[in-house]
Amino acid sequence: MLQLFRASILHFLDDPIKTTSISKSYNYWEDGLLVVKDGKIHEVGDYASLISDYKGFEISVYSGKLIMPGFIDTHIHFPQTEMIASYGAELLDWLNTYTFPTEQKFGNKEYAREIAQFFLRQLLLQGTTTALVFGSVHKESVEAFFEEAQKQNLRMIAGKVMMDRNAPEYLLDTPESSYTDSKELIKKWHGKDRLLYAVTPRFAPTSSKEQLAKAKQLLEEYPDVYLHTHLSENREELAWVGELFPESDNYLDVYDRAGLLHPKSVFAHSIYLSDSEWATLHAKDCSVAFCPTSNLFLGSGLFNIQAAQKHDVRVGMGTDVGAGTSFSILETLQEAYKVNQLRKAFPEEGYEHEPLSALKAFYLATLGGAKALHLDGAIGNFEKGKEADFVVLDLASSELLAFRLAQCKTLEEKLFVIQMLANDRTVAQTYILGQPVL
Amino acid sequence: MLQLFRASILHFLDDPIKTTSISKSYNYWEDGLLVVKDGKIHEVGDYASLISDYKGFEISVYSGKLIMPGFIDTHIHFPQTEMIASYGAELLDWLNTYTFPTEQKFGNKEYAREIAQFFLRQLLLQGTTTALVFGSVHKESVEAFFEEAQKQNLRMIAGKVMMDRNAPEYLLDTPESSYTDSKELIKKWHGKDRLLYAVTPRFAPTSSKEQLAKAKQLLEEYPDVYLHTHLSENREELAWVGELFPESDNYLDVYDRAGLLHPKSVFAHSIYLSDSEWATLHAKDCSVAFCPTSNLFLGSGLFNIQAAQKHDVRVGMGTDVGAGTSFSILETLQEAYKVNQLRKAFPEEGYEHEPLSALKAFYLATLGGAKALHLDGAIGNFEKGKEADFVVLDLASSELLAFRLAQCKTLEEKLFVIQMLANDRTVAQTYILGQPVL
């Protein structure tokens, strides 16, 4: 079945920072045509050039709107949906005061299902079509999540938290149970329809070495699954990791010694990294998730995207709900710009500050996120054969956005205005495999 | 004429940080009644207790909504409306690259009128009912602004920029012309209907000592007008001020020596202040405007609200559009929380970090702003006789907001969730002197 969409269309072909010429990093058609066949991208290009090949087909016309690939959220916690905007804590307090009591509820599969439904709806409302998702420690939470994602044909990655110490008794698993539960989930869900599994130790402080060894065993037995955890988010956390793992050279080294650094390892936050940690991330081809709304909300610190660029480390955007303050990747890009700007007021040695360009930002939200998840063979842009998950942005969703866009001369100016002024109103429709879901 | 409004109602009586008991700092009625008589507050309280006195009157019922006093924006530039979300600069670049070329257009009164209309509409859409507003250097811009604000019966304060050096020739006035133009505007507009005037030197670097002396002369001749300028926003600016005014002890001292510190002086930003500058602000009873979206967007730095509290300096919230990224005071409060949280990652000596409470935040947006502008006799809360400018917030404006509010047990939790999750959708209606304007 062929479906045709006429709108302004933008997608990325490469990282705008890495290409020899920025203009080679994306394609933009002011009046574009996107052709979807059986849920996959069939063709994309200029409307006037392509339309003669599609005479007689019905066209969905989105005048004054912009179609982009669906947004990709590389770090989010579905059981924390109900605790978004909880007051007054930084990381370690946050976990004890809000996170652990909330996550306790997710041993109940029906409760987990209800929240998973609401959570997935929030992602789609914001144009996010793929996410790398923390469950709770309970296998049931991930079961419920995958069942709901499967019903909606979503491309989602999730995993059960592994956590056997330094948390309330009621939330602890054991090295053995975490291994068995994760393995069952992998066998049942990894590669089922569009679903994928991530081995998910919460973070170094809450896993014993025995548990980290079990995580490694899972990665060895299933080399195609992800590893999803937190890294170097907060200074107190950093000091704690130093006490818990005195033999390790640094935080990343804890995971490295445990054998958890492989190309599908995604480390959320990664704020306080040394050059040698960045170099290791590059050498092992690991990815990091930049979560600016969360890093501001918890007062964690300022992610150094220039360090990631310098060391050629894959980066995706993460909302990190519930510490993140929005499900919207658009709003997350806005905060990413601000976090990066604020680095000027707190200069790091060895870095001459550069603003985050809008092209780079939207790249991170789409193809960059797909590359960070090693999913760029399936999603992230509109190359032929990729899965047709995309978002339709209403460029007149507020008077101010429309007024301000009318002043813009270049695509980059327009994208920046969208990045700074768009909100949930701006997402007019989200498509999954060519089907509208809002 | 009596008008009755039934809703949840919140207003503040005092600064929650300064009262002996937080609960004395506000009144909240879950089911409240607000009575307006001839555009002024007549009575407010619990619906069930008051309603018997108003039998037979029609009631506007806002179920599930929250009425608060209109928001107050203590620092914003109306000629910068069209350059909101301009890319990649910090303060001094920003002025040269974007601000000056844009402000040039405001010598044309009809153009200024058009933008003033749009600007005022943006304020009202976001529930802002009073603002302290920079014009451009052109008298015409302020004429147009006041004419439009007058038509809509708004409580607004504005002034013509005084700027006689370090800017493009096409935007410079002279000490004499800035004095004459400002004086004409004061005579025509200050105290006219709800309008007030602010003597508005842009900032120390763009005014000669001769011009600062003229500003002082205006304040002496019209002791009731405001002084509105910028202070200590950015480190490069700070260094420049040091070079331009080598005899001054610090940035604030430039204004102090010029005789510009009086109780109606409002200093935007005030980020890099020494204890002695804070002490002087207190001694002279000056106010500062906290502009978090702008401070993040330009990478200026982190405002220290605890210093303002310690030194008992009046603070209001400012959007600082066009360097600010939103006309919304709600979104500005969200960023205020984040800016304050981030101070944890960059500790200042002498301050043990405290999170910004939601009560304090909404106080700053309403009564605190009114006090910063010495307008708390007229606006800022629902005391009898005050002008009936208020906002109606829709607490179900998004699925997430409604869902999250349903988890809250206390008013403070609710307010914090509104602060973090509300956006322009949340403002259901804005009232000016008891009349709906949206």
In this prediction, residue B206 carries a pLDDT of: 98
What SS3 class is residue A86? coil
Tokens standing for residue A304? 């150094």
Instruction: Provide the residue type at B29 as one letter.
Output: W
User: Residue B161's CB: how many other CB atoms inside 10 A?
Assistant: 28
Of B85, B399, B417, the CB nearest to A417: B85
Q: Does a structural domain hold residue A409?
A: yes
Residues 231-260 of B with CB under 8 A from A: 235
- Cα–Cα distance for residue pair A391/A330, rounded to 1 Å: 12
Q: Does a structural domain hold residue A334?
A: yes
Q: What is the pTM of this model?
A: 0.98
Q: Does a structural domain hold residue A369?
A: no
In this prediction, residue A90 carries a pLDDT of: 87
- Cα–Cα distance for residue pair A382/B318, rounded to 1 Å: 42
The one-character DSSP state at A295 is H
DSSP state string for A27-57 = EEEEEEEEEEETTEEEEEEEHHHHGGGGTT-
Are both B291 and B302 inside the same structural domain?
yes
Question: Which has the minimum average pLDDT: A86-90, A175-179, A251-255?
Answer: A86-90
Q: Does a structural domain hold residue A335?
A: yes
In this prediction, residue A22 carries a pLDDT of: 86
Whether the Cβ atoms of residue A327 and residue A294 lie closer than 8 Å to each other: no
Q: Give the chain A residue nearest B328 (alpha carbons).
A: A421
- What ipTM is given for this predicted complex? 0.97
Q: Does a structural domain hold residue A376?
A: no
In this prediction, residue A20 carries a pLDDT of: 81
Are both B258 and B185 inside the same structural domain?
yes
**Cα angle: A433, vertex A435, A436; to 5 degrees:** 130
Give the CATH number of the domain where residue A144 resides.
3.20.20.140
Tokens standing for residue B56? 């037979």
Q: At which of B338, B372, B406 does a domain end?
A: B372
Of A83, A299, A425, the CB nearest to B344: A299
Residues of A in contact with B420 (CB under 8 A): 84-85, 297, 325
Whether the Cβ atoms of residue B216 and residue B258 lie closer than 8 Å to each other: yes
The residue with tokens 């905007």 is A85
**Of A199, A205, A152, A195, residue with least CA distance to A178:** A199
Three-state SS for B93-132 is HHHHHHHHHHHHHHHCHHHHHHHHHHHHHHHHHCCEEEEE
Q: Does a structural domain hold residue A421?
A: yes
Three-state SS for B282-340 is HHCCCEEEECHHHHHHCCCCCCCHHHHHHCCCEEEECCCCCCCCCCCHHHHHHHHHHHH
Q: Which residues of B74-109 are buried (b: 16+ CB within 10 A; e: fewer)?
A: bbbbbbbbbbbbbbbbbbbebbeebbbebbbebbeb
Are both A386 and A270 inside the same structural domain?
no
Range of the domain at B75: 71-372
In this prediction, residue A321 carries a pLDDT of: 98
Q: Does a structural domain hold residue A362?
A: no
Are both A188 and A250 inside the same structural domain?
yes
Helix (H) or strand (E) holding A219: helix A209-221
Are both A289 and A408 inside the same structural domain?
no
Tokens standing for residue A295? 């890093």
- The verdict on a CB contact (< 8 Å) between B84 and A121 is no
In this prediction, residue B127 carries a pLDDT of: 98
Peptide bond into B322 cis (omega under 30): yes
Is 90 exceeded by the pLDDT of residue A37?
Answer: yes
In this prediction, residue B195 carries a pLDDT of: 98
Are both B352 and B299 inside the same structural domain?
yes
In this prediction, residue B224 carries a pLDDT of: 97
**Cα-to-chain-centroid distance, residue A435:** 22
Residues of A in contact with B399 (CB under 8 A): 118, 121-122, 125
Are both B300 and B247 inside the same structural domain?
yes
Name every residue whose Cβ is closer than 8 Å to that of residue A263 and which is 6 or more positions away in sequence.
A284, A285, A286, A374
Helices and strands (H and E) in chain A: how many: 17, 16
Give the CATH number of the domain where residue B384 resides.
2.30.40.10
In this prediction, residue B108 carries a pLDDT of: 97
Q: Give the chain A residue nearest B324 (alpha carbons).
A: A420
In this prediction, residue A89 carries a pLDDT of: 86
Residues of A in contact with B101 (CB under 8 A): none
Q: State residue A222 phi and psi, 5-degree precision.
A: -130, 75
Given CB atoms, is B4 within the 8 Å cutoff of chain A? no
Whether the Cβ atoms of residue A79 and residue A134 lie closer than 8 Å to each other: yes
- Cα–Cα distance for residue pair B434/B437, rounded to 1 Å: 9
Are both B289 and B344 inside the same structural domain?
yes
Are both B318 and B355 inside the same structural domain?
yes
The residue with tokens 């309280």 is B45
Number of structural domains (chain A) is 2
Q: How far is A420 from chain B (nearest CA, A)?
A: 6
The residue with tokens 């949280």 is B341
Are both A78 and A58 inside the same structural domain?
no
Q: Residue-wise pLDDT tens for chain B (438 aa)?
A: 899 999 999 999 999 998 888 889 999 999 999 999 999 999 999 999 999 999 999 999 999 999 999 999 999 999 999 999 999 888 999 999 999 999 999 999 999 999 999 999 999 999 999 999 999 999 999 999 999 999 999 999 999 999 999 999 999 999 999 999 999 999 999 999 999 999 999 999 999 999 999 999 999 999 999 999 999 999 999 999 999 999 999 999 999 999 999 999 999 999 999 999 999 999 999 999 999 999 999 999 999 999 999 999 999 999 999 999 999 999 999 999 999 999 999 999 999 999 999 999 999 999 999 999 999 999 999 999 999 999 999 999 999 999 999 999 999 999 999 999 999 899 999 999 999 999
- Helices A175-189, A139-151: axis angle to 10 degrees equals 10
Q: Does a structural domain hold residue A353?
A: no
Residues of A in contact with B299 (CB under 8 A): 338, 340-345, 353
In this prediction, residue B329 carries a pLDDT of: 98
**Cα angle: B159, vertex B164, B169; to 5 degrees:** 110
Are both A63 and A96 inside the same structural domain?
no
**Of A321, A326, A438, A358, residue with least CA distance to A391:** A438
Are both A158 and A90 inside the same structural domain?
yes
Q: Give the chain B residue nearest A345 (alpha carbons).
A: B301
Q: Tens of pLDDT along A422-434?
A: 998 999 999 999 9
